[in-house]
């Protein structure tokens, strides 16, 4: 029988306590949809910070490329194929992580359908497209959280971070299925934080602004739309994936131990200034 390569829980490395509180070193971090876009950047940066980045994606080739990017400079990572809308696939993914590393410290529910969507008034959204968005964007985080909760509960420590969108407070037109699914993440977070708080598991939600990534979109925003959004922000520049990293690492670290059930905007003050 092969010996399971369990990683050790984070230890006292001799650095000041306050610095250890902000560290994600040696944390096992599962990031869904990490084969591209925001998820890819998060996986790369968590790996660079000393975490074990679990690159979970429906496209295994993409996940393996990100794993290689993390490992090239000496980081630790694993690539796992997962369809977050399929319960058996999610359960197998989490079991694989536990088998390899012994635990799951952080789950980032990043996988979602958006870039491939065409703009349509709600009366014309095909019902099968609506259902597909809900299966991935709502059922996916539910299934992933269900799978990791017993593992985190046993450890008495865990972080679950859900991703919403600034499209929610703005009520962005012609993407009602996406806006609805991301609205659900806020209520989902509030309820789950209540249920898991006594188990040492913190559940929070991040609401990013419009992020420019390498992912091609079915409908690209015009330059006028981009300029208009930046003009409404407090910070006058476009948002990029690295802008999320600090907040996500903080919410994944011991430093956020008394923060749960919160939705935190990271959008340059776009919704603040409206």
Which residue, 261, 11, 57, is CA-closest to 160? 261
DSSP state of 25: T
Q: What is the pLDDT of residue 273?
A: 47
Which residue, 219, 197, 202, 201, is CA-closest to 210? 219
Q: Which residue has better confidence, 125 or 215?
A: 125
Buried b (16+ CB within 10 A) or exposed e, 229-251: bbebbeeeebbebebbbebbbbb
Which residue, 58, 61, 64, is CA-closest to 33? 58
Partnered with residue 159 across adjacent β-strands are: 106, 202
Mean pLDDT of 81-104: 98
- Arch. (CATH architecture) of 23-218+240-266: 3-Layer(aba) Sandwich (3.40)
Q: Model confidence at 2, in pLDDT bands (50, 70, 90)?
A: very low
Please say if the pLDDT value at position 192 is more than 70: yes
How far is Cα 7 from Cα 152, in angstroms, rounded to an integer?
A: 15
Question: Token match 């739309």: residue?
Answer: 225
From the number of C-beta atoms within 10 Å of its C-beta (0-12, 13-18, 19+), residue 216 rates as: exposed
Partnered with residue 30 across adjacent β-strands are: 54, 107
Q: Rg for the chain (alpha carbons), in Å?
A: 18
Q: What is the pLDDT of residue 8?
A: 57
Catalytic residue from among 46, 175, 178, 188: 178
Measured CA distances, 76 to 47, 67, 72, 79, 158 (Å):
6, 8, 9, 11, 20
What are the residue boundaries of the structural domains of the chain, listed by start? 23-218+240-266
Q: Model confidence at 3, in pLDDT bands (50, 70, 90)?
A: very low
Task: Let me know if 178 is a catalytic residue.
Answer: yes
Q: Model confidence at 176, in pLDDT bands (50, 70, 90)?
A: very high
DSSP state of 124: G
Q: What is the pLDDT of residue 35?
A: 96
Task: Give the least confident one: 11-15, 64-68, 171-175.
Answer: 11-15
Measured CA distances, 252 to 93, 133, 136, 141, 258 (Å):
20, 27, 23, 17, 12
Please say if the pLDDT value at position 34 is more than 70: yes
Q: What is the pLDDT of residue 148?
A: 98
């Amino acid at each position: 029988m092969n010996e399971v390569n369990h990683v050790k829980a984070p230890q006292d490395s001799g650095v000041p306590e306050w610095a250890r509180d902000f560290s994600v070193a040696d944390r096992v971090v599962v990031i869904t949809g990490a084969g591209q876009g925001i998820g890819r950047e998060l996986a790369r940066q968590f790996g660079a910070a000393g975490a074990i980045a679990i690159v979970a994606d429906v496209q295994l080739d993409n996940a393996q490329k990100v794993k290689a990017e993390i490992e090239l400079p000496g980081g630790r990572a694993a690539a796992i194929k997962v369809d977050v809308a399929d319960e058996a696939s999610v359960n197998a993914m989490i079991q694989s992580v536990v088998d390899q590393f012994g635990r799951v410290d952080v789950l980032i529910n990043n996988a979602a359908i958006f870039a491939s969507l065409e703009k349509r008034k709600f009366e014309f959204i095909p019902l099968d497209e609506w259902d597909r968005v809900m299966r991935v964007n709502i059922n996916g985080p539910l299934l992933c959280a269900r799978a990791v909760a017993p593992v985190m509960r046993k450890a008495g420590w865990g972080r679950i971070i859900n991703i919403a969108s600034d499209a929610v407070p703005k009520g962005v037109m012609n993407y009602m299925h996406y806006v609805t699914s991301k609205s659900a993440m806020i209520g989902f977070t509030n309820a789950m934080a209540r249920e898991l708080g006594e188990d040492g598991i913190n559940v929070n939600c991040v609401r990013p602004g419009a992020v420019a990534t390498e992912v091609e979109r079915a409908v690209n925003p015009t330059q006028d739309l981009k300029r208009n959004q930046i003009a409404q922000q407090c910070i006058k520049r476009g948002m990029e994936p690295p802008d999320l990293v600090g907040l996500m690492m903080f919410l994944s670290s011991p430093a956020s131990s008394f923060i749960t059930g919160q939705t935190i905007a990271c959008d340059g003050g776009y919704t603040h200034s409206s």
